[in-house]
Amino acid sequence: MIEWIEKASKLDGDFAEIGLGVGETTVKLLSFNKKVLGVDPFEDGWSEMPKSYGEPYRYEEFNNRIRNYNNFELLRVNSLSEEAEVFLNKPLALAYVDGLQYKGAVLNDLRIVSHAEIIIVDDINRRSYISQVPQAVEDFIKQTNRNLIIKDRWAILTK
């Protein structure tokens, strides 16, 4: 995955991340000195999550991890909102998608970052009733003719 972030860091545009968790990927993205736009409701949106997702990601924990970076902008909403679509409607070199894993949610996330040069989707290796990432990526590829590279647990979608 890192090699694709490195490639994207040489392109024009910001980085975007949908589904921030505890900030591990965010810190990796921030280390490339690009502006990172993040979308996640954190614990405020946890009531919509399947019980198997476990405990909610806490904003405080995330914020503690990224607080020393000044190239980050957060929109604390569900990515299905119109606000998220407007927020991410900027030139994007890279989008990292790791949000809610229902097919409709993943397809929406891919749609609102479809203008990114490179899209990385986490959990391509998980297929279950609550993890429908592979089906969503398959549909998105058919709709957009993006190139697909699968590397470990990530789908890399290039133009």
Averaged pLDDT for residues 64-74 = 96
Q: What is the pLDDT of residue 47?
A: 65
% of the chain surpassing 90 pLDDT: 85
Give the pLDDT confidence of 31-51 residue by residue, as tens digits: 999 999 999 999 876 666 566
The pLDDT of residue 50 is 60
The answer to whether 80 and 91 are in contact (CB under 8 A) is no
pLDDT at residue 16 tops 90: yes
Confidence of residue 55 (pLDDT cuts 50, 70, 90): low
Inform me whether the pLDDT recorded for 10 exceeds 70: yes
Taken in order of first residue, the domains within the chain and their CATH numbers are 2-158 (3.40.50.150)
The pLDDT of residue 147 is: 98
**How does the average pLDDT of the chain come out, rounded?**
93
* Amino acid present at 106: V
140-to-75, 137, 145, 146 alpha-carbon distances in Å = 24, 5, 8, 8
By the 8 A CB rule, do 131 and 115 touch? no
Q: Are strands 154-158 and 147-151 parallel, antiparallel or unpaired?
A: antiparallel
Q: Which pLDDT belongs to residue 88? A: 98
**Average pLDDT estimate for 51-65:** 82
Rounded CA-CA distance 154/128 in Å is: 16
